[in-house]
């Protein structure tokens, strides 16, 4: 076995789990999941059937990742955040055929206790504040907070808030990397 699973973790049949991944206490990885290399799945996490996690995904304690969710590489999921997979759930109505897809793009971070309503993608390197309730798509590099979540700024790949000047340029205070804001979209300047 090229990954670590705590003795209390449950891993169902048909899962692909990448080298160096760690699965901690009381977590349940359900059938047919794909988990990339070097992931860290915290305590009491549920990974539902068919979920796909890229490389280096960090999942903190008490997170539920439901069927229909795809997390690309380097995604961070904060403690007790949750995804949904049906927009109008009823106990007496089976809606498994209606599960909506949610994609969390490379490098995005989702804060503690945030809720991502299904069918809304999270852009590359976006930052979802703690407790936010996401009810629409989130652009690349966007900083969103609140209920319902609203955009209040932009974040760098390093996880620092970007302050754009009048010409639409910003420099990350943590990495020194440069960014441009053009037509409502942020792009990192590759030099």
The CA distances from residue 183 to 160, 167, 168, 180, in Å, are 21, 12, 10, 10
Taking the C-alpha atoms of residue 102 and residue 120, their distance in angstroms, rounded to an integer, is: 6
What are the C-alpha distances in Å from 67 to residues 90, 103, 110?
Answer: 17, 11, 18
Across the beta sheet with 46-47, the strand order is 10-11, 28-29, 46-47, 64-65, 82-83, 115-116, 133-134
pLDDT exceeds 90 at position 133: yes
The whole-number pLDDT of residue 180 equals 98
Band of pLDDT at residue 1, cut at 50, 70 and 90: low
Q: Which CATH class is domain 4-155?
A: mainly beta
Query: For 26-67, how does the pLDDT look when each residue is reduced to its tens digit (9 = 90+)?
Result: 999 999 999 999 999 999 999 999 999 999 999 999 999 999
Q: Please list the residue range(s) of the chain that carry CATH number 2.160.10.10.
A: 4-155
In degrees rounded to 5, what are phi and psi of residue 155? -125, 150
* Structure token digits, residue 81: 């955040």
CA distances (Å), origin 158, targets 8, 15, 90, 144: 35, 32, 41, 16
pLDDT band at 160 (very low <50, low <70, confident <90, very high): very high
pTM: 0.96
Tally of CA atoms within 13 A in the half-sphere of 74 that contains its CB:
12
Burial per residue of 60-95, b for 16 or more beta-carbon CB atoms within 10 angstroms, e otherwise: bbbbbbbbbbbbbbbbbbbbbbbbbbbeeeeeeeee
């Amino acid at each position: 076995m090229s990954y670590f699973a705590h003795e209390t973790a449950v891993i169902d049949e048909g899962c692909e789990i990448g080298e160096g991944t760690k699965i901690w206490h009381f977590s349940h990885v359900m059938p047919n999941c794909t988990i990339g290399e070097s992931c860290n799945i915290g305590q009491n996490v549920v990974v539902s059937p068919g979920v796909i996690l890229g490389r280096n995904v960090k999942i903190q304690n008490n997170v539920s990742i439901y069927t229909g969710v795809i997390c690309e590489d380097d995604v961070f999921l904060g403690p007790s955040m949750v995804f949904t997979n049906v927009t109008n759930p009823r106990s007496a109505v089976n809606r498994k055929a209606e599960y909506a897809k949610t994609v969390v793009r490379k490098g995005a971070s989702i804060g503690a206790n945030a809720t991502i309503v299904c069918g809304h993608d999270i852009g590359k390197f976006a930052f979802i504040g703690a407790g936010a309730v996401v009810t629409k798509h989130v652009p690349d590099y966007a900083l969103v907070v609140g209920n319902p979540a609203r955009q209040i700024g932009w974040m760098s790949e390093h996880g620092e808030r970007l302050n754009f000047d009048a010409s639409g340029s910003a420099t990350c205070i943590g990495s020194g990397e440069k960014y441009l804001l053009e037509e409502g979209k942020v792009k990192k300047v590759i030099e």
